[in-house]
């Protein structure tokens, strides 16, 4: 059993994606960032609900809106809404639910 609050430090040069649960219509993923940002826009086929477990991050949307998330804050990203992460503290732990 792993602790959700423990950052994945397998590779500090890239984000670490750990799938905690995957079923037909849902995926729960723990993402550990160590200062990484997105160069490309994400445009996913499923809705995503994300909560910051630790650290902080800034998510930018295609329309220019930015949300600065801190520990405990969450947001819903509807499917096909273009977004990218433009800042993360080190470490930042995200819990992402794709549905």
Q: pLDDT tens-digit profile of 21-61?
A: 999 999 999 999 999 999 999 999 999 999 999 999 999 99
| Over residues 56-68, mean pLDDT | 98
Q: CA torsion, points 68, 66, 75, 71, in degrees to nearest 10?
A: -10
Tokens of residue 86, six digits:
């433009």
* The CATH number, out of the four listed (3.40.109.10, 3.90.76.10, 3.40.1190.20, 2.60.120.10), of the domain defined by the range 30-98: 2.60.120.10
Instruction: Indicate the domain borders of the chain.
Output: 30-98
Quote the pTM value: 0.91
Query: Of 2 and 18, which is predicted with more confidence?
Result: 18
Compute the mean pLDDT over every residue in the chain, rounded to the nearest whole number: 96
**1, pLDDT greater than 90:** no
Residues 6+ apart with CB under 8 A from 90: 12, 33, 34, 35, 55
Q: Do 72 and 31 meet the contact criterion of CB atoms below 8 Å apart?
A: no
């Amino acid at each position: 059993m792993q602790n959700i609050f423990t950052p994945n430090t397998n590779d500090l040069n890239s984000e670490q994606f750990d799938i905690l649960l995957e079923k037909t219509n849902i995926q729960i993923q723990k993402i550990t960032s160590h200062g990484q940002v997105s160069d490309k826009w994400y445009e996913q086929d499923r809705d995503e609900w994300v909560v910051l477990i630790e650290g902080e991050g800034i998510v930018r949307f295609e329309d220019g809106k930015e949300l600065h998330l801190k520990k405990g804050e969450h947001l819903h990203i509807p499917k096909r809404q273009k977004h990218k992460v433009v800042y993360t503290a080190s470490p930042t732990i995200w819990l992402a639910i794709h549905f």
